[in-house]
Amino acid sequence: MNDWIERLRESLPIVRRNFYERGFGLPCQYLEAVESVRRRGSGENDYQYYMDEVLYESFFLKYPWQPSVRTLLNENERSPYLEFLESKADDWRTTLSLDPNFDRFCKFEKPDVWLSLLSQFRSEKQSEQHMFGSELERIVSGARGSIIAGIQCIAETFGYHVKHPVKSTDKSMVLRDEIDGECYSSMRVIDLRALKKNGDVLVQFVFSEIPDKVFGLNKFIPGAYLYQLSNNGFDMTIFSFFLQCVFMSELRAKLRSR
């Protein structure tokens, strides 16, 4: 497993850069906002680097990563960078994040500043959706009006196929990436009720090399929840699924090439 983890760590910066260059700029705006709340101290890296180190440690934990559960890690499972941040934290047991910038970002004391940022983020998301509108229209032209059918059309474009037909009572949908009958990765679209009602497009990624671990876009790029939650209408909802497929496709291809 350690070899696969290292391949993932090496791949993520490249995949993120390609993703951003394709036109998905919202994570960059979010990262810029996090980095702007304070000047970085000596030895600190940006929030994306922190996310990758958290991801690394999470491989060795049975529980979701948070500062307080790092005590369960063996010495060789700990990130030196997170050890460094923990040593600088005033009280790592109560902090929201070991990254001092993100911790402060989560504690914005001025509501008007946060509302202004949200407006900026929503505007960027809307612009991106319009930019990819023509491409998406071609992909889902035969499924207009049905979000589930639209998602299936997009999934098939990226090489994923529905494992079982989706019924109206189903809570989730499983999509598999198969080559010669062997599954290399799968996507689980969870909480279909929230998807249809609120436009919450929550997708879990599972790789065949480590089938007991589940990933989401939120573990890979800053501010991913802004893409995933509260998508109004058919167009914005399928755009949310589309961009998650784009990222997964880039990551999947990069991992296979190593």
Amino acid symbol at 202 = L
Q: Which helix (H) or strand (E) holds 17?
A: helix 2-21
Do residues 174 and 164 touch, judged by C-beta distance below 8 A?
A: yes
- The number of beta carbons lying within 10 Å of the beta carbon of residue 91 is 7
For 184, the 3-state DSSP assignment is: strand
Position 78 pLDDT exceeds 60:
yes
The three-class DSSP label of residue 228 is helix
Amino acid at 189: V
Residues 30 and 222 sit within 8 Å (Cβ to Cβ): yes
Q: Which two tokens stand for residue 111?
A: 């509501």
d(CA 56, CA 6): 8
Q: Is the pLDDT of residue 122 over 90?
A: yes
pTM of the model: 0.92
Is the separation of the CB atoms in 255 and 7 below 8 Å?
yes
Q: What is the pLDDT of residues 23-35, one digit of tens each?
A: 999 999 999 999 9
Of 81-90, 117-126, 139-148, highest mean pLDDT = 117-126
| pLDDT of amino acid 41 | 93
Phi, psi for 162 (deg, rounded to 5): -65, 130
- 2-21 and 47-58 are packed helices; what angle lies between their axes, rounded to 10 degrees? 150
Share of the chain above pLDDT 70, in %: 95
Which tens digits make up the pLDDT trace of 124-150?
999 999 999 999 999 998 777 789 999
Residue 1 is predicted with a pLDDT of 60
For residues 250 and 138, what is the distance between their CA atoms, to the nearest angstrom? 21
Q: Bridge-partner residues for 162, per DSSP?
A: 175
The answer to whether 39 and 104 are in contact (CB under 8 A) is no
Nearest to 192 by CA among 252, 161, 151: 151
Q: Output the six-digit token pair for 107.
A: 């504690």
d(CA 111, CA 115): 6
Given pLDDT bands bounded at 50, 70 and 90, which one contains residue 177?
confident
Q: Which residue has the tokens 């990069």?
A: 254
